[in-house]
């Protein structure tokens, strides 16, 4: 048996990719070496444009537990400096406080609904590729076996076996100087400031919640999540303590060194699971390439960096939303030449920016008077709205523009959050994109689009409606919700029709009915 796509790793990125491929008409198999989903929780939240992406797949509601669409966050931090996002007219920073474990549960549930097979306790141990596919060696619960696949995606985390087996280098730096200790604890209620939700540390003062708080001796975080109150410290140039789990006393001593004051706290209450974690050092690395013939890398397998500001899932989940429809198109036979390679050309710059801004933030939180001086300067710069916007765009990933040609300002950018007045009533664009189909939006009732989609109707859906706010007259939206082409002209002339056809061909292949047209093996 040859499967279309094997995904190594049922972390958030492997599971999201499985969902995207299924929506694209390809049913992958996911291999996960762990027998159950008991691994430690990492992320405490999703930050950036990824929140909008999840909304556009109907997953935001499941994660937030409410029916309301996402709203931008009024505040965030950059390198432990406050970002007053509420001052921005066009705030791109979205956030959702949800533990990674829950994200994985929801994605697994969705993948199973879509018919994905997830094989737990199956570890990829080897691979060999030829022109037609990849033969994958697997250690399963009943012993070793092989599977043949047309494509393999390594979503197997920072230590990716797939990446190593392909001989893809992972250059970058390892920083050994920092040690973080984090734990769920119980703090006395009288220390919690009713007005701000911050923590009044006796002998130190008020520390705001959910913010990195830097002193000359280290970093302190107080984060009262619904799943547990987290206290975390980071110090530099100390003996890391290796992989030994920390004790709460070690955390107390670390808090004393960082804040110069004692924080009385006790062990966490409730059933847990409770966090008690030590992280020594950190890696910032980017894979030399994201593709080796029929093998692709996604998520942490392709890039690792500091977790400061929580950029990991914003990057990784958007990687796989970019990759999913392209790989599905390749397998179904309608991908234009080179489409799959645009996964790397589009997503590598996004990864490079995350590497850059996490390193910049790491520099800004380090101890020492020079860093304190740098922070004074940054604080001054962050009084300017343009600087806040620049940083917010960078951290959220909203400054990424794919090179899709065309001169419209929206081309290559995420589609705006529109609500369309259609024949059947108002509908948010985020609801129209849940099936991950390419869309041609005709937003001017009299736009003459007759026949514009002939040859692509099997791949692209036409939606007609009036936008609730200023919007182009016509928008061509890819399955990953990026704008492939746009026009402000309600009546497309010959030149614009040619440009639309060129954009359709570039993104979704030649029109069917032509010798190189689509149809694919599955139609
Ligand atoms: C302390 C910490 C805090 C973080 N906080 C945040 C945050 O707040 N927000 C955020 O967005 N990001 C955060 N991150 C980053 C985020 O956790 C990662 O980016 C994310 O886990 C990457 O997902 P992934 O699916 O690529 O890899 P992983 O989550 O590492 O999943 C890979 C999976 O592959 C499996 N696997 C490995 N090898 C094999 C094999 N050979 N065969 C089969 N299966 C295999 C593993 O068991 C695992 O389940 C944090 C990271 C850390 C360490």
> Residues with beta carbon inside 6 Å of ligand 1?
8-14, 31-34, 42-46, 100, 123-124, 155-157, 161, 279, 299-300, 307, 310, 312-314, 316
Nearest 5°: phi and psi at 72? -65, 150
Q: 280 forms bridges with which residues in the sheet?
A: 179
Q: What percent of the chain has pLDDT over 90?
A: 83
Mean pLDDT over 413-440 rounds to: 95
pLDDT at site 393: 98
CA of 195 to the centre of ligand 1 (A): 36
CA of 452 to the centre of ligand 1 (A): 43
The Cα–Cα gap between 207 and 192 comes to 10
pLDDT at site 519: 43
pLDDT band at 523 (very low <50, low <70, confident <90, very high): very low
**CA-301 nearest atom, ligand 1:** 26
**Listed residue (127, 109, 122) closest to 29, CA to CA:** 122
pLDDT at site 242: 72
**Listed residue (406, 408, 479, 472) closest to 441, CA to CA:** 472
Mean pLDDT over 236-247 rounds to: 79
Nearest-10 crossing angle of helices 312-332, 12-23:
30
CB 388 within 8 A of CB 90: no
Q: 215 forms bridges with which residues in the sheet?
A: 218
CB 321 within 8 A of CB 15: no
CB 440 within 8 A of CB 452: yes
Residue nearest (by alpha carbon) to ligand 1 atom 41 = 124
pLDDT at site 518: 47
CB 420 within 8 A of CB 468: yes
CA of 34 to the centre of ligand 1 (A): 13
The Cα–Cα gap between 512 and 456 comes to 6
pLDDT at site 514: 63
């Amino acid at each position: 048996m040859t499967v279309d796509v094997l995904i190594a790793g049922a972390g958030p990125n492997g599971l999201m990719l499985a969902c995207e491929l299924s929506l694209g008409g390809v049913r992958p198999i996911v291999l996960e070496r762990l027998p159950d989903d008991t691994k430690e929780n990492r992320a405490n939240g999703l930050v950036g444009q990824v929140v909008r992406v999840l909304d556009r797949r109907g997953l935001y509601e499941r994660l937030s537990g409410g029916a309301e669409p996402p709203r931008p966050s009024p505040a965030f931090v950059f390198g432990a400096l406050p970002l007053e996002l509420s001052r921005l007219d066009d705030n791109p920073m979205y956030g959702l406080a949800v533990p990674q474990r829950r994200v994985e549960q929801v994605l697994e549930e969705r993948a199973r609904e879509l018919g994905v097979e997830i094989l737990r306790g199956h570890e990829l141990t080897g691979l060999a590729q030829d022109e037609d596919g990849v033969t994958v060696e697997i250690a399963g619960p009943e012993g070793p076996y092989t599977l043949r696949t047309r494509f393999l995606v390594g979503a197997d985390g920072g230590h990716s076996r797939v990446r190593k087996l392909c001989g893809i280098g992972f250059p970058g730096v390892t920083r050994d100087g920092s040690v973080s200790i984090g734990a769920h604890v119980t703090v006395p209620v009288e220390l919690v400031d009713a007005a701000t939700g911050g923590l009044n540390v006796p002998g130190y003062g008020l520390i705001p919640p959910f913010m990195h708080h830097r002193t000359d001796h280290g970093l302190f975080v107080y984060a009262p999540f619904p799943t547990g109150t987290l206290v975390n410290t980071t110090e530099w140039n100390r003996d890391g303590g290796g992989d030994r789990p920390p004790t709460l006393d070690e955390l107390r001593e670390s808090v004393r060194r960082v804040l110069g004051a004692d924080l009385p706290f006790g062990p966490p209450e409730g059933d847990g699971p409770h966090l008690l974690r030590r992280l020594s050092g950190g890696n910032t690395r980017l894979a030399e390439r994201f593709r080796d013939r029929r093998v692709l890398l996604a998520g942490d397998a392709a890039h690792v960096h500091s977790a400061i500001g929580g950029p990991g899932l914003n990057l990784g989940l958007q990687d796989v939303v970019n990759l999913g429809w392209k790989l599905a198109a390749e397998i179904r036979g309608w991908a234009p030449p080179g489409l799959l390679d645009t996964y790397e050309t589009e997503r590598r710059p996004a990864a490079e920016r995350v590497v850059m801004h996490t390193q910049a933030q790491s520099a800004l939180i380090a101890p020492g008077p020079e860093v304190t001086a740098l922070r004074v300067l940054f604080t001054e710069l962050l009084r300017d709205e343009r600087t806040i916007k620049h940083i917010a765009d960078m951290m959220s990933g909203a400054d990424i523009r794919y090179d899709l040609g065309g001169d419209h300002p929206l081309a290559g950018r995420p589609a705006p959050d529109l609500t369309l007045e259609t024949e059947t009533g108002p509908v948010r664009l985020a609801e129209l994109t849940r099936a991950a189909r390419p869309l041609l939006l005709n937003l001017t009732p009299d736009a003459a689009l007759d026949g514009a989609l002939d040859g692509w109707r099997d791949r692209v859906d036409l939606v007609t409606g009036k936008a609730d706010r200023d919007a182009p007259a016509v928008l061509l939206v890819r399955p990953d919700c990026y704008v492939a082409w746009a026009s402000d002209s309600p009546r497309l002339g010959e030149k614009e029709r040619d440009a639309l056809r060129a954009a359709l061909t570039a993104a979704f292949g030649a029109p069917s009915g032509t010798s190189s047209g689509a149809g694919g093996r599955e139609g």
